[in-house]
Amino acid sequence: MIDVKIRKSETHDSKWVVDVMKNGSLTEQYVDERGERSGYVDFESREQAEIVAKLFLMKEEIKPKDEPPQGKDTNPKETLGIRKVPTHCIPTGPLLELGLAMMEGGRKYGTHNYRAMGARHSVYHDGIVRHLKAWWEGEDIDPDSGLHHLVKIMGCCAVLRDSQLMGNDIDDRPIRYPGGLNMDKYNKQASDIIDKYPDCKKPFIERDKPVPGGY
Q: What is the pLDDT of residues 142-190, one digit of tens each?
A: 999 999 999 999 999 999 999 999 999 999 999 999 999 999 999 999 9
User: Alpha helices of the chain — where are they, by DSSP H?
Assistant: 46-62, 76-81, 92-109, 113-117, 121-136, 149-166, 183-196
Domain that holds residue 159: 86-196
97 with 153: CB under 8 angstroms?
Answer: no
Asked if residue 96 is part of any domain, the answer here is yes
Residue type, 157: C
Express as a percent the part of the chain with pLDDT over 90. 53
Asked if residue 209 is part of any domain, the answer here is no
3-state secondary structure at position 8: strand
* Backbone φ/ψ region at 211: left (φ over 0), alpha (ψ -120 to 50), beta: beta
Asked if residue 212 is part of any domain, the answer here is no
**Which tens digits make up the pLDDT trace of 177-193?**
999 999 999 999 999 99
Asked if residue 75 is part of any domain, the answer here is no
Neighbour count for residue 18 (Cβ, 10 Å): 27
Asked if residue 208 is part of any domain, the answer here is no
Q: Let me know whether 191 and 90 are in one domain.
A: yes
Q: Let me know whether 51 and 11 are in one domain.
A: yes
Q: Let me know whether 7 and 93 are in one domain.
A: no
Asked if residue 119 is part of any domain, the answer here is yes
- What band does 74 get if pLDDT is binned at 50, 70 and 90? low
Q: Let me know whether 58 and 101 are in one domain.
A: no
Q: Let me know whether 96 and 140 are in one domain.
A: yes
Asked if residue 134 is part of any domain, the answer here is yes
Domain count, the chain: 2
**Which tens digits make up the pLDDT trace of 196-213?**
999 999 898 988 887 666
